[in-house]
Amino acid sequence: MRPIFHLLPTLVLICSTPLSAAGQSDAAEGDAASSGGGPKVIYVVTDDQKLYAWEGNQLVYEFDVVTGRPGKETEAGVFSINRKYEDYTSKAYGAEMPFTMFFTLDGKAIHGTTWATVRSFVHEYISEEVGSMGCVGLTRENAETMFRWAPMGTRIVVVEEEQDEEGAPRGI
Protein backbone atom coordinates (compact mmCIF):
# COMPACT_ATOMS: atom_id res chain seq x y z
CA MET A 1 0.00 0.00 0.00
CA ARG A 2 1.11 3.55 -0.71
CA PRO A 3 1.93 5.68 2.34
CA ILE A 4 -0.98 7.99 1.50
CA PHE A 5 -3.43 5.58 3.11
CA HIS A 6 -1.87 6.40 6.49
CA LEU A 7 -3.14 9.96 6.03
CA LEU A 8 -6.83 9.08 6.03
CA PRO A 9 -7.42 10.07 9.69
CA THR A 10 -5.76 13.43 9.02
CA LEU A 11 -7.90 13.95 5.93
CA VAL A 12 -11.06 13.27 7.89
CA LEU A 13 -9.95 15.77 10.55
CA ILE A 14 -9.18 18.38 7.89
CA CYS A 15 -12.56 17.82 6.27
CA SER A 16 -14.37 18.50 9.50
CA THR A 17 -12.46 21.72 10.26
CA PRO A 18 -13.95 24.97 8.86
CA LEU A 19 -11.76 27.15 6.67
CA SER A 20 -11.16 30.70 7.79
CA ALA A 21 -7.82 31.83 6.35
CA ALA A 22 -7.80 34.81 3.99
CA GLY A 23 -7.99 33.79 0.36
CA GLN A 24 -9.66 30.48 1.12
CA SER A 25 -13.32 29.88 0.53
CA ASP A 26 -15.83 28.70 3.11
CA ALA A 27 -18.35 26.49 1.34
CA ALA A 28 -22.01 26.57 2.16
CA GLU A 29 -22.75 23.81 4.63
CA GLY A 30 -23.39 20.53 2.86
CA ASP A 31 -22.19 21.66 -0.60
CA ALA A 32 -19.33 19.16 -0.71
CA ALA A 33 -21.21 16.35 0.95
CA SER A 34 -21.35 13.24 -1.15
CA SER A 35 -24.42 11.26 -1.99
CA GLY A 36 -23.76 8.80 0.80
CA GLY A 37 -20.08 7.83 1.11
CA GLY A 38 -18.91 10.71 3.29
CA PRO A 39 -17.29 14.04 2.45
CA LYS A 40 -15.38 14.43 -0.80
CA VAL A 41 -11.74 15.57 -0.59
CA ILE A 42 -9.19 16.17 -3.34
CA TYR A 43 -5.64 15.61 -2.14
CA VAL A 44 -2.70 16.88 -4.30
CA VAL A 45 0.89 15.75 -3.60
CA THR A 46 3.21 18.11 -5.47
CA ASP A 47 6.44 16.11 -4.99
CA ASP A 48 4.83 13.00 -6.50
CA GLN A 49 2.73 14.88 -9.07
CA LYS A 50 -0.39 12.98 -8.00
CA LEU A 51 -4.02 13.81 -7.27
CA TYR A 52 -6.13 11.56 -5.05
CA ALA A 53 -9.90 11.92 -4.77
CA TRP A 54 -11.49 10.54 -1.63
CA GLU A 55 -15.13 10.02 -0.75
CA GLY A 56 -15.31 9.33 2.96
CA ASN A 57 -12.68 6.66 3.57
CA GLN A 58 -12.74 5.38 -0.02
CA LEU A 59 -10.11 6.33 -2.61
CA VAL A 60 -12.20 6.99 -5.73
CA TYR A 61 -9.68 8.41 -8.24
CA GLU A 62 -5.90 8.68 -8.58
CA PHE A 63 -4.44 10.77 -11.42
CA ASP A 64 -1.06 12.07 -12.56
CA VAL A 65 -0.94 15.87 -12.50
CA VAL A 66 1.44 18.67 -13.35
CA THR A 67 1.94 21.35 -10.70
CA GLY A 68 3.84 24.62 -10.46
CA ARG A 69 7.38 25.17 -11.68
CA PRO A 70 10.01 27.03 -9.61
CA GLY A 71 8.86 30.58 -8.97
CA LYS A 72 5.24 29.59 -9.70
CA GLU A 73 4.82 26.81 -7.15
CA THR A 74 1.48 25.27 -6.29
CA GLU A 75 1.32 26.38 -2.67
CA ALA A 76 0.56 23.91 0.09
CA GLY A 77 -2.58 24.48 2.11
CA VAL A 78 -6.21 23.65 2.62
CA PHE A 79 -8.68 25.20 0.19
CA SER A 80 -12.17 24.70 -1.27
CA ILE A 81 -13.53 24.86 -4.78
CA ASN A 82 -14.97 28.37 -5.03
CA ARG A 83 -15.69 28.69 -8.79
CA LYS A 84 -16.25 26.18 -11.60
CA TYR A 85 -16.26 26.68 -15.38
CA GLU A 86 -16.67 23.97 -17.98
CA ASP A 87 -14.98 26.17 -20.61
CA TYR A 88 -12.51 28.80 -19.42
CA THR A 89 -9.63 30.76 -20.94
CA SER A 90 -6.93 32.18 -18.69
CA LYS A 91 -7.07 35.96 -18.57
CA ALA A 92 -3.36 36.11 -17.60
CA TYR A 93 -1.92 33.60 -20.09
CA GLY A 94 -4.58 33.21 -22.79
CA ALA A 95 -4.48 29.42 -22.35
CA GLU A 96 -7.54 27.20 -22.64
CA MET A 97 -8.41 25.62 -19.30
CA PRO A 98 -11.20 23.09 -19.79
CA PHE A 99 -13.14 21.89 -16.74
CA THR A 100 -11.70 24.51 -14.39
CA MET A 101 -12.22 24.37 -10.63
CA PHE A 102 -10.70 27.40 -8.90
CA PHE A 103 -9.56 26.88 -5.32
CA THR A 104 -7.74 30.18 -4.55
CA LEU A 105 -8.79 33.77 -5.02
CA ASP A 106 -5.58 34.51 -6.96
CA GLY A 107 -6.49 32.05 -9.71
CA LYS A 108 -5.00 28.67 -8.80
CA ALA A 109 -7.19 25.92 -10.18
CA ILE A 110 -7.47 22.27 -11.09
CA HIS A 111 -8.10 22.06 -14.85
CA GLY A 112 -7.41 20.23 -18.07
CA THR A 113 -4.21 20.96 -19.95
CA THR A 114 -2.31 19.64 -22.95
CA TRP A 115 0.34 16.97 -22.48
CA ALA A 116 -0.46 16.69 -18.76
CA THR A 117 0.82 13.12 -18.32
CA VAL A 118 4.13 13.76 -20.11
CA ARG A 119 4.62 17.06 -18.27
CA SER A 120 3.90 15.33 -14.94
CA PHE A 121 6.54 12.67 -15.61
CA VAL A 122 9.16 15.20 -16.74
CA HIS A 123 8.40 17.47 -13.74
CA GLU A 124 8.79 14.61 -11.25
CA TYR A 125 11.74 12.70 -12.72
CA ILE A 126 13.73 14.99 -15.02
CA SER A 127 13.29 18.71 -14.44
CA GLU A 128 10.98 20.79 -12.28
CA GLU A 129 11.30 23.54 -14.92
CA VAL A 130 8.51 21.76 -16.80
CA GLY A 131 5.43 22.64 -14.82
CA SER A 132 2.40 24.85 -14.60
CA MET A 133 2.05 28.47 -13.58
CA GLY A 134 0.81 27.26 -10.18
CA CYS A 135 -2.32 25.37 -11.17
CA VAL A 136 -2.91 21.63 -10.97
CA GLY A 137 -3.11 20.31 -14.53
CA LEU A 138 -4.81 17.10 -15.57
CA THR A 139 -5.55 15.51 -18.93
CA ARG A 140 -8.79 16.86 -20.40
CA GLU A 141 -10.54 13.54 -19.68
CA ASN A 142 -9.37 13.39 -16.05
CA ALA A 143 -10.26 17.06 -15.54
CA GLU A 144 -13.77 16.38 -16.79
CA THR A 145 -14.06 13.40 -14.43
CA MET A 146 -13.04 15.54 -11.46
CA PHE A 147 -15.26 18.43 -12.58
CA ARG A 148 -18.33 16.17 -12.67
CA TRP A 149 -17.41 14.40 -9.39
CA ALA A 150 -16.53 17.41 -7.19
CA PRO A 151 -19.26 19.90 -6.26
CA MET A 152 -18.67 23.50 -5.24
CA GLY A 153 -17.09 23.63 -1.79
CA THR A 154 -15.16 20.37 -2.15
CA ARG A 155 -12.08 20.51 0.08
CA ILE A 156 -8.69 20.66 -1.71
CA VAL A 157 -5.63 19.66 0.33
CA VAL A 158 -2.25 20.44 -1.27
CA VAL A 159 0.90 19.03 0.36
CA GLU A 160 4.49 18.77 -0.79
CA GLU A 161 5.13 15.21 0.37
CA GLU A 162 2.91 12.35 1.41
CA GLN A 163 4.26 12.20 4.97
CA ASP A 164 7.23 13.05 7.15
CA GLU A 165 9.23 10.76 9.43
CA GLU A 166 6.47 10.84 12.07
CA GLY A 167 3.77 10.00 9.52
CA ALA A 168 2.25 13.51 9.48
CA PRO A 169 1.44 15.26 6.19
CA ARG A 170 3.93 17.92 5.17
CA GLY A 171 3.16 21.30 3.74
CA ILE A 172 0.00 22.13 5.68
Instruction: Give the C-alpha distances (Å, rounded to integers) separating 7 from 46, 106, 116.
Output: 15, 28, 26
Name 34's Cβ contacts closer than 8 Å, sequence gap at least 6.
Answer: 40, 55, 56
**149 falls in which pLDDT band (50, 70, 90)?**
very high
Is residue 130 scored above 90 in pLDDT? no
Give the pTM. Answer: 0.70
**What is the H or E stretch that residue 52 is in?**
strand 50-55
Q: How far is CA 42 from the centre of its chain?
A: 5
Is residue 84 scored above 70 in pLDDT? yes
Sorted by where each starts, the structural domains of the chain and their CATH numbers stand as 3-25+32-159 (2.40.440.10)
Q: How far is CA 82 from the centre of its chain?
A: 13
Q: Which of 65-69, 102-106, 159-163 has the lowest mean pLDDT?
A: 159-163
Query: Rounded to whole angstroms, how far apart are CA atoms 110 and 101?
Result: 5
